[in-house]
Amino acid sequence: MDIRHYTIALDVNPVTQSINGYTEIDLTLSIGSPVLLLDFWHGLTVGGVTVNGKKESFEHTETDLLKITGNKPFPSGKIKIKVMYGGKPGIAERPPWTGGFQWSKDSNGNPFIAVTCQSEGGKIFFPCKDHPSDEPNEGADMIITVPKGLTVAGPGLLMKETNSKTTSTFHWKTNYTISNYCLVFNIGDYAIVRDTYVTVLGKKVPMEFYVTQEHKDKGPHHLEVLKRTALVLEKYFGEYPWAKEKIGIAETPHLGMEHQTMNAYGNQFRYTKVGGEDFDWLLTHEFGHEWWANKVTNADWAHMWIQEGICSYGDALYVRELEGEEAYQKVMRQRARTAQNVKPIVQGEVVDSDDTYHGDIYGKGALFMHTLRYVIGDSIFFPTLKKLATDKRYTYDNTITTDDVEKLFSTASGSNLKPLFDFYLRTTNKLEISVKQTDEKKYKIQLTNFKGMELPIEILVNGEVTKFMLDDKETTFESETYPQIDPIGFYLKRVVFE
Ligand SMILES: [Zn+2]
């Protein structure tokens, strides 16, 4: 089953906290099948299902599956499923980390509604094939109806707004591929603050900030802050991925989420300074996901570090750009201190989202990119990182795994980097470096738990940083002063002095 397109059309009622409407799924079957299977949360009630316009019988299970059975097998080729449904969607207990609907109020008492489902998936409110490897190739439409006076912020372009006496309907459309968990909407008494961003390739992209009336005055400056982030990220990762649509942010009652072309923002405009300029870590991090998660997507949750780890590495590159190399290195040393090393970052090829999601996919994932940069050098690392974010093979319609990343960097560097990738991503080991003093000024050094390749490691000898190529065999060196191993901190490591 290959998903081609979703249309999600729903009435949203803030008073009864319910939704009602339909979802259409366009897909192609590679072979005929007697059953069509979709993911859909069991708490919503399905009123009917049609396939290619014909009513079909279905079973909606407690295990969140919608099984559609035809009178005769469905043939291979194009199929359009329409599912009519409604009810009360699940309430988010701790958004954005545990998702669902959040029925809040703004400071004026108006409905302020957000949807998040990164770990639960789009199935919490629309029937879909809920797996990261299958995004709708031809995009999606969201047609959302709300009580008059409220505004719906959604993905892509606003095609139409229609009003009746009591309701308003917003038709959002994206022509790009999009993850299920980004096919969401936010509702509020929004003001819209606009600006224009010019991409690195000279394309003009509308910027839209759906902001609460209370924070409307903060909108223009916030977009300026975002522009600075966009400039830096484009430098490292290539042009903004959704230049034909928009750069969007929607203020939300939760902290934030990387919703494609309409990032959720709820960090309350709490700026710190980077390079003397206002900086909002949440805004920058979620915007980085427009490349890492939205454009470059993991084929399975098992490889989610590609999305969170490289995105977090981008946060550090922002610091590098505005404050320089030393400030960036300091950020990386902080990341090293927070590494938990309880579970490997990659635990297999097929892992569910709850098992994959832990702190190390962020900090240790970012630190791994820092290590990789040091091992292969800037002249290879940065162009290859940009290639990963721009080459057709790794972006949009195509999803990737850890092995794809490893092979790309191995090919680019002309050396087999698999031992390094496996060590840092598939084990919880720290690089162990043993240092033995054999004489007053003589030392022997070796890697004790790492095999398969040499690693460059800096040692402070006689007050000077010298680079050594180390492996699991002893290397000797002399130093008048007590040696310091990897003083800048390019590795997550344990040094054992004897
Ligand atoms: Zn993130």
| Ligand 1 center–CA 423 separation, angstroms | 23
Residue type (1 letter), 117: C
| Ligand 1 center–CA 362 separation, angstroms | 8
| Ligand 1 center–CA 480 separation, angstroms | 46
| Ligand 1 center–CA 285 separation, angstroms | 6
Query: What's the sign of the alpha-carbon dihedral 399, 348, 345, 372?
Result: negative
Question: At CA 250, angle to CA 249 and CA 252, rounded to 5?
Answer: 135
According to the model, what pLDDT value does residue 186 have? 98
> Would you give per-residue pLDDT tens digits along the chain (498 residues)?
999 999 999 999 999 999 999 999 999 999 999 999 999 999 999 999 999 999 999 999 999 999 999 888 999 999 999 999 999 999 999 999 999 999 999 999 999 999 999 999 999 999 999 999 999 999 999 999 999 999 999 999 999 999 999 999 999 999 999 999 999 999 999 999 999 999 999 999 999 999 999 999 999 999 999 999 999 999 999 999 999 999 999 999 999 999 999 999 999 999 999 999 999 999 999 999 999 999 999 999 999 999 999 999 999 999 999 999 999 999 999 999 999 999 999 999 999 888 999 999 999 999 999 999 999 999 999 999 999 999 999 999 999 999 999 999 999 999 999 999 999 999 999 999 999 999 999 999 999 999 999 999 999 999 899 999 999 999 999 999 889 999 999 999 999 998
Q: Which long-range contacts (CB under 8 A, 24 or more apart) does 444-447 make?
A: 444/474, 444/475, 444/476, 445/470, 445/474, 445/475, 445/476, 445/477, 445/485, 446/470, 446/471, 446/472, 446/473, 446/474, 446/475, 447/471, 447/472
| Ligand 1 center–CA 284 separation, angstroms | 10
| Ligand 1 center–CA 288 separation, angstroms | 8
| Ligand 1 center–CA 305 separation, angstroms | 10
Contacts of 320 (CB under 8 A, 6+ apart): 327, 328
According to the model, what pLDDT value does residue 238 have? 98
| Ligand 1 center–CA 162 separation, angstroms | 35
Q: How far apart are CA 87 and CA 76, in angstroms?
A: 33
Q: Phi and psi of 112, rounded to 5°?
A: -140, 100
Give the pair of three-digit tokens for residue 13: 């009622």
| Ligand 1 center–CA 98 separation, angstroms | 14
Task: Dump strand ranges (E) for 320-383.
Answer: none
Bridge-based pairing state of the strands 18-29 and 272-274? unpaired
Q: How far apart are CA 220 and CA 191, in angstroms?
A: 12
Helix (H) or strand (E) holding 103: strand 100-105
According to the model, what pLDDT value does residue 258 have? 96
According to the model, what pLDDT value does residue 118 have? 93
| Ligand 1 center–CA 188 separation, angstroms | 24
Contacts of 7 (CB under 8 A, 6+ apart): 23, 24, 140, 141, 142, 143
| Ligand 1 center–CA 308 separation, angstroms | 5
| Ligand 1 center–CA 235 separation, angstroms | 20
Query: What's the sign of the alpha-carbon dihedral 121, 266, 173, 47?
Result: positive
According to the model, what pLDDT value does residue 482 have? 87
Q: How far apart are CA 432 and CA 165, in angstroms?
A: 70
Q: How far apart are CA 387 and CA 295, in angstroms?
A: 12
At residue 208, the 3 state secondary structure works out as strand
According to the model, what pLDDT value does residue 31 have? 96
| Ligand 1 center–CA 444 separation, angstroms | 42
Sort residue 195 into left (φ over 0), alpha (ψ -120 to 50) or beta.
beta
| Ligand 1 center–CA 56 separation, angstroms | 40
Task: Dump strand ranges (E) for 243-394.
Answer: 247-251, 256-257, 263-265, 272-274, 277-279, 297-298
Which of 404, 385, 254, 260 lies closest to 316 in space, CA to CA? 385
Q: How far apart are CA 243 and CA 245, in angstroms?
A: 5
According to the model, what pLDDT value does residue 157 have? 98
Which of 41, 259, 19 lies closest to 130 in space, CA to CA? 41
Contacts of 285 (CB under 8 A, 6+ apart): 256, 311, 312, 315
pTM reported for the whole predicted model: 0.96
Q: How far apart are CA 451 and CA 423, in angstroms?
A: 9
* Residue found by looking up tokens 């992209």 in the block: 205
Burial class of 80 by CB neighbour count within 10 A (0 to 12, 13 to 18, 19+): middle
Q: What are residue 128's DSSP bridge partners?
A: 39
| Ligand 1 center–CA 311 separation, angstroms | 7
Q: How far apart are CA 343 and CA 427, in angstroms?
A: 8
| Ligand 1 center–CA 147 separation, angstroms | 32
| Ligand 1 center–CA 402 separation, angstroms | 17
| Ligand 1 center–CA 70 separation, angstroms | 41
| Ligand 1 center–CA 139 separation, angstroms | 23
Q: How far apart are CA 46 and CA 55, in angstroms?
A: 13
